[in-house]
């Protein structure tokens, strides 16, 4: 099984590039594990999202606006950026 194109792509990567990809995946699953089950109604108290690749969460349990990876609140700055990107445009009046 497996996709031959993907295989070729992986084979063309250097060892350190592969390690980098694996570490990224691992970091992400650690972030998921730390956030616990994805019931975003229970937000982890305190602190703001520090993910380098944060994404606004669209789970609907908001506000507070939060990151979809770590479920920590987004900072004012991040919310402003998210709004510029078209998130959270359907706010209640």
Q: Which residues bind Zn ion (CB under 5 A)?
A: 40, 49, 51, 54, 57, 59, 67, 69-70
In the complex, the smallest distance separating the C-beta of residue 2 from Zn ion, rounded to whole angstroms, is: 32
In the complex, the smallest distance separating the C-beta of residue 34 from Zn ion, rounded to whole angstroms, is: 10
In the complex, the smallest distance separating the C-beta of residue 44 from Zn ion, rounded to whole angstroms, is: 10
CA distances from 92 to 28, 53, 73 (A): 32, 27, 19
Q: Identify which of residues 4 and 60 has a Cβ nearer to Zn ion in the complex.
A: 60
Q: What angle do CA 76, 46, 23 make, to 5 degrees?
A: 85
Distance CA 64, CA 3 (A): 41
């Amino acid at each position: 099984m497996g996709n031959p194109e993907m295989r070729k792509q992986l084979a063309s990567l250097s060892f350190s590039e592969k390690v980098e990809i694996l570490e990224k995946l691992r970091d992400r699953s650690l972030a998921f594990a730390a956030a616990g089950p994805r019931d975003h109604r229970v937000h982890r108290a305190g602190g703001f999202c520090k993910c380098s690749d944060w994404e606004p969460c669209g789970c609907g349990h908001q506000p507070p606006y939060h990151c979809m990876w770590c479920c920590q609140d987004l900072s004012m700055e991040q919310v402003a950026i998210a709004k510029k990107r078209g998130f959270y445009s359907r706010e209640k009046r």
